[in-house]
């Protein structure tokens, strides 16, 4: 995994945050979605996301999901279930960022 310095990670792409300081910079606690809501959103990504004036989705619970699984099952879950959701989100973001 590549570590990014500066604040470009706040504006484009997907980021994994492990510290409360970084999380606090981009979302209020009430704006954080659960992993369950991530999958709900994936059925039809909303135009306005919960954080950062409708531009950011912060999801909590990935680490808890991984902790409940064996390493092999965690790898399978990431590849088969989580990765497709993240990629679909990235496609939506790219469409929104394209000039019209």
What's the domain range around 80? 27-97
Higher pLDDT, 13 or 49: 49
Judged against a pLDDT cut of 80, whether residue 98 lies above it is answered with: no
User: How many domains would you assign to the chain?
Assistant: 1
- Measured in whole angstroms, the distance separating CA 56 from the mean position of its chain's CA atoms is 8
What mean pLDDT is reported for the chain? 81
Helix residue ranges, H only, the chain: 20-26, 35-42, 62-67, 71-77, 83-97
DSSP-based three-state secondary structure for 99? coil
Q: Is residue 35 part of a domain?
A: yes
DSSP secondary structure letter of residue 100:
-
Q: What mean pLDDT do residues 5-22 have?
A: 64
Residue 45 included in any domain: yes
Report pLDDT for 90. Answer: 84
- At residue 97, does pLDDT exceed 70? no
**Residue 54: its pLDDT value, please?**
80
Q: Could you tell me which residue, 67 or 94, shows the higher pLDDT? A: 67
Does residue 4 lie in a domain region? Answer: no
């Amino acid at each position: 995994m590549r570590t990014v310095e500066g604040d470009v990670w706040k504006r484009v792409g997907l980021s994994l945050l492990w510290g409360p300081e970084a999380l606090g910079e981009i979302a209020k606690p009430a704006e954080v979605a659960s992993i369950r809501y991530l999958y709900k959103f994936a059925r039809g990504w909303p135009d306005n996301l919960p954080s950062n004036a409708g531009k950011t989705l912060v999801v909590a619970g990935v680490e808890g999901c991984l902790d409940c699984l064996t390493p092999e099952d965690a790898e399978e879950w990431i590849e088969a279930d989580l990765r497709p959701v993240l990629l679909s989100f990235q496609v939506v973001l790219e469409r929104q960022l394209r000039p019209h």
